[in-house]
């Protein structure tokens, strides 16, 4: 069934087997000229050298082609671009910092699509301290939002390794997570309102700053996590929080992943909810960072696994230090901690965090890496790590598992580095085989194959396997309703209709 608006009535009709095939068109010179005029002189790029940086994602896994890159500076210009593209049936691929990891921001190889670069939408529109909110445009970097919040004495808690280059519009489009989800939630939980340009150029002004608004459907949640397939986010109202006045950070050695869950339970009970981050790290990852990033071994003796634990609060500086000591004491007494160090300064805490934040970056220097972004219920996260490592080593005995990340919310970045001396291409050719095994374990444990990176191109064809026909059908109906000509980020998120 398909939903269509027919005057004031909502009509239903059968969606035929062939009717769903929507033919996008290459933009003619007249369309490209109209798009150029919509953004003004110097804001439309067509030269191969100008366009090249937009066509390849950082890991080199996805490369595309495009007819043009348009760089609007206002929501009205975005509206004009989409109206022209919708009329001409031209595909539009939104892109911000180009930091996505599933190819959602990269055009197809056809060369018929245009890229809409949102980085010119870079204004902080409003900071409302009393309301605890900030209104920002989609092209503001995540770091820029953090700094604007800090300048007003507030905290914007979303934190990612790419925060200096990723844009808040992309964070919203993928419902980014990061290290603070355990305390503050995903990007979705941090958003109060949105401004969105629809496929036909209409502008929805949903920039409400309300904590409570029970007036029908919550439309903003439809666009958050939709990866630009339903509309282009141009601005957002995000929540702010009191800036912490005290922190305590510890680097902890453990023997097995299950001990991280024991530590989390103890930390929550003893700190009365002041855990703001807990990350699990394997010894292999620490060795990679020492080799390629010049970091130091954090503790006296090596350990199979580590946990980075952080508490934050509003008390006087130093208040949380004894709380952290009590947590670690319980861990030693209960036998699930092997060693630990509490940061004695802000610099030492930053050094601890550098071990975590450089782990993905340095892994690429060790050759081919097969990656996963999965989540399971927190209680199942240690079991997932153990089973996934065993399954991968059964397939590739000399491979080097690198499982790390947000164990406090069940999101594990389960990566597999190639065996030392192995052929990189031959190893990466087993990507789908390894993915299938790891994803099977995650799904069996009631988890997800995408926790915070999105679907994009990489996982689009898996959607039919993990979503029920009813759920996938509702998603496809939403796509048809909001984007009937299929111009918005074509080929992403949803598989072709059956």
Integer Cα distance of 377 and 261 in angstroms: 12
- Tokens standing for 220? 């903003």
Structure confidence at residue 59 (pLDDT): 82
The pLDDT assigned to 9 comes to 31
Tell me which DSSP letter residue 106 carries.
S
Tokens standing for 14?
């059968």
Cα 115 to chain centroid, rounded = 20
Stretch (H or E) spanning 137: strand 133-137
Number of alpha helices (DSSP H) and beta strands (DSSP E) in the chain: 17, 21
CA pair distance 270, 268, nearest whole angstrom: 6
Give the pLDDT confidence score for residue 489 in this predicted structure: 98
Which residues lie closer than 8 Å to 168 by C-beta, 6 or more apart? 136, 137, 138, 139, 140, 141, 142, 145, 236, 238
| Burial profile 69-93: b = 16 or more Cβ within 10 angstroms, e = fewer | bbbbbebebbbbbbbbbbebbbbbb
What is the Rg, in whole angstroms, of the alpha carbon atoms belonging to the chain? 24
- pLDDT (0 to 100) of residue 58: 84
Per-residue pLDDT tens, the chain, 498 aa: give them: 333 333 333 333 333 333 334 589 999 999 999 999 999 999 999 999 999 999 999 888 899 999 999 999 999 999 999 999 999 999 999 999 999 999 999 999 999 999 999 999 999 999 999 999 999 999 999 999 999 999 999 999 999 989 999 999 999 999 999 999 999 999 999 999 999 999 999 999 999 999 999 999 999 999 999 999 999 999 999 999 999 999 999 999 999 999 999 999 999 999 999 999 999 999 999 999 999 999 999 998 999 999 999 999 999 999 999 999 999 999 999 999 999 999 999 999 999 999 999 998 899 999 999 999 999 999 999 999 999 999 999 999 999 999 999 999 999 999 999 999 999 999 999 999 999 999 999 999 999 999 999 999 999 999 999 999 999 999 999 999 999 999 999 999 999 865
Instruction: Return the pLDDT at 22.
Output: 59
Domains observed in the chain: 2-119+466-482 (3.30.43.10), 121-242 (3.30.465.10), 246-360 (3.30.70.2190), 367-452 (3.30.70.2740)
Six token digits for residue 434: 């390894």
Predicted TM-score of the model (pTM): 0.92
Q: For residue 1, how many other CB atoms are within 10 A of its CB?
A: 8
Is beta strand 203-206 parallel, antiparallel or unpaired with respect to 154-155? unpaired
Give yes or no for a contact between 415 and 348, defined as CB atoms under 8 angstroms apart.
Answer: no
């Amino acid at each position: 069934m398909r939903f269509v608006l027919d005057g004031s009535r909502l009509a239903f009709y059968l969606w035929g087997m062939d009717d769903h095939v929507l033919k996008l068109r290459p933009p003619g010179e007249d369309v490209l000229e109209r798009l150029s005029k919509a953004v003004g002189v110097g804001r439309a790029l067509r030269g191969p050298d100008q366009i090249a940086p937009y066509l390849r994602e950082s890991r080199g896994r996805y490369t595309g082609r495009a007819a043009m890159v348009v760089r609007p500076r206002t929501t009205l210009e975005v509206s004009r671009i989409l109206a022209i593209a919708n009329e001409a049936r031209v595909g539009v691929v939104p892109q911000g910092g180009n930091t996505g990891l599933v190819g959602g921001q990269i055009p197809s190889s056809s060369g018929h699509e245009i890229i809409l670069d949102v980085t010119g939408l870079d204004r902080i529109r409003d900071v409302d301290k009393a309301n605890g909110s900030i209104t920002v445009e989609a092209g503001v970097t995540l770091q820029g939002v953090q700094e604007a919040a800090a300048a007003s004495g507030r905290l914007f808690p979303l934190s990612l390794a790419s925060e200096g280059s990723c844009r808040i519009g992309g964070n919203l489009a993928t419902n980014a997570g990061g290290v603070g989800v355990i305390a503050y939630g995903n990007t979705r939980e941090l958003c109060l309102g949105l401004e969105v340009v629809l496929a036909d150029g209409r502008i929805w002004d949903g920039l409400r700053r309300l904590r409570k608004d029970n007036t029908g459907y919550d439309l903003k949640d439809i666009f958050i996590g939709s990866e630009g397939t339903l509309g282009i986010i141009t601005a957002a109202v995000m929540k702010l929080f009191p800036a912490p006045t005290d922190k305590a950070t510890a680097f902890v050695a453990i023997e097995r992943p299950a001990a991280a869950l024991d530590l989390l339970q103890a930390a929550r009970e003893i700190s009365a909810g002041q855990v703001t981050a807990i990350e699990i790290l394997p010894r292999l990852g620490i060795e990679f960072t020492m080799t390629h990033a010049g970091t130091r071994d954090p503790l006296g003796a090596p350990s199979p696994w580590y946990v980075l634990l952080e508490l934050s609060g509003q008390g006087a500086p130093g208040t949380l230090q004894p709380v952290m000591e009590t947590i670690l004491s319980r861990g030693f007494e209960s036998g699930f901690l092997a060693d630990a160090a509490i940061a004695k300064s802000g610099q030492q805490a930053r050094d601890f965090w550098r071990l975590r934040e450089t782990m993905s970056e340095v892994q690429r220097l060790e050759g081919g890496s097969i990656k996963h972004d999965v989540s399971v219920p927190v209680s199942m996260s240690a079991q997932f790590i153990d089973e996934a490592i065993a399954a991968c080593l059964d397939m590739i005995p000399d491979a080097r598992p690198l499982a790390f990340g947000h164990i406090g919310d069940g999101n594990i970045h389960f990566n597999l580095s190639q065996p030392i001396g192995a052929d990189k291409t031959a190893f990466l050719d087993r990507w789908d085989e390894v993915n299938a095994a790891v994803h099977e374990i995650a799904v069996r444990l009631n988890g997800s194959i995408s926790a915070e990176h999105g679907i994009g191109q990489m996982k689009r064809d898996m959607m039919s396997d993990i979503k029920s026909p009813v759920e996938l059908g509702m998603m496809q109906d939403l796509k048809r309703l909001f984007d009937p000509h299929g111009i918005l980020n074509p080929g992403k998120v949803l598989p072709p209709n059956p």
